[in-house]
Amino acid sequence: MDGPVHLRVESGPERGREIFVPSEGVRIGRSTRNDVMIQDPAMSRFHCRVYFKPGQGMWVTDLGSANDTLVNGQVIQEVELRKGDEITIGETRLRVVNDVPSEGRGSAGGAGISGSAGATPPPGVGLGGTVDLGFGRPPGSDGVSVRRRRLFLLAAALVMALAAVLAQPVVRSRLAGWWEGLTKLLGWGERAPATYTTNLPVLDLTYERVQGSTSNIFRYFVSIGDGRLVVQVDDMQSARHVRREKKVDPELLQSLARSLETSGFFGLSPEYRGVAPGIHDSLDLSVTIGVRTHRTRLVNHLEPEVLANVRGMVEEFGRSELGLAALAIDPATLVEKAREAFWQAQKMHDEREIRPGNLFQAIRSLKEAEWYLETIEPKPEFCADVIAKKRDWERELQERHDNLLFLAERAIRLEDWPEAARHLRILAEMIPDRGDERHRNVYKKLVEVERRLATRK
């Protein structure tokens, strides 16, 4: 342990673990790239960060986690922590046992060499501070030899102190930042969720690919700016027009920026132009990383290998982040996959009395079918049934949830903890998605009910 305990794991896979929080903070999640890695499958890779604001105490920030960060049962983005507060991340519950930053840590070893005035020195140490190493009194101890020995001891102490400083992860991360670019320091104040590497400047990107022929025009557009990703696809032949956008995890943007910066893109020529009768194939890509900006345009020309790699990187990033992989599947296959998902949904709905979660899974299969059909025009005949059943089954699920929640809350009021726990467990299985607000609400109640049950034993 590097210092006093600040957090203790009260429940979850690593119950009993104690966590020290340095002033610069710790990032917590299930990835090994965190400062504190917790093996909780319900936790996001980079879930939250706990740190100290100068003069403002201990704070926690959610890092865009899938299941949110809860403090005392409330979903938060950023909030100040107090001693006794409970932080819930995934299936893990942490308690704040100390909200004060560690100060004045003693140096490792060496304690007692310099005592207070009048103290009796330990054996082997003279009143003047000279250490007897057992080799006898050196000649000329009042002269040059003593000064050399003192210089040697001072140098040794400095080396040990430097080694102790360099052993700190934060110091190593800062040295890495200086080594990479001497542009930014890491570790103080607000910082985006990232590994201990150089924080690259903001990424701005605009990409447009147009392929035209006598029979079709296909356009793929990507824009990244202010942390938002926008993708628009237009395919005239299949009459598919899709536009999606979302806020992207800053760490993913930094990873993309690093890849672009080392790809060789900034060394490409501004324009590549050729001639190809009867077709139009153009690519226009502009990238800004910090103060560096470069734009390359290609028209009817063979792609340089670097540009081909960058183009693939940008297109794949847009498809994977926004779930546009269906655009790479031909329409007939998409319709068939949607039909299979619709059949699976009906089967799960028919078996909804067998398991509480079957109705939820049926709705999920309908959403999958709807996703497959999103880019299909005209829509197949069963698309209307998919939409109608999804609406009806979501209403049915909500009614079942509300009725069972009423029974659970009545049992809680009557302090019938076993009955309350039974209803809440069914509710948790009925809506298993931890990202669903209803599941989070049930889980919070179930934790409290199970605590009451435990105190009765």
Same domain, 430 and 360: yes
Q: Tell me the pLDDT band of 424, cut-offs 50, 70 and 90.
A: very high
Same domain, 250 and 349: no
For residue 313, being part of any structural domain is answered with yes
- DSSP codes joined into one string, 428-453: HHHS--TTSHHHHHHHHHHHHHHHHH
Instruction: Answer yes or no: is 158 within a domain.
Output: no
SS3 67: coil
- Please report, for the domain that includes residue 68, its CATH number: 2.60.200.20
Q: Using one digit for the tens of pLDDT, what is the confidence trace for 109-132?
A: 333 333 333 333 343 334 344 434
Shared domain for 444 and 361, answered yes or no, is yes
Q: Let me know how many helices (H) and strands (E) the chain has, helices first.
A: 9, 18
What is the number of structural domains in the chain?
Answer: 3
Residues forming beta bridges with residue 286, ordered by sequence position: 206, 295
232 and 304 in a common domain? yes
Q: Which of these three, 41, 74, 98, is where a domain ends? A: 98
Q: Of 98, 121, 153, which residue is a domain's last? A: 98
Least confident segment among 51-65, 209-223, 235-249, 378-392: 235-249
Predicted TM-score (pTM) of this structure: 0.40
> What range defines the domain where residue 302 resides?
203-324
Domain final residue pick, 63, 98, 133: 98
Contact present, 176 and 198 (Cβ < 8 Å): yes
Confidence of residue 169 (pLDDT cuts 50, 70, 90): low
> Whose CA is closest to 258, among 318, 201, 175?
201
In this structure, is residue 52 part of a structural domain?
yes
Which residues are CB-contacts of 408 (< 8 A; sequence separation ≥ 6)?
A: 420, 423, 424, 427, 442, 445
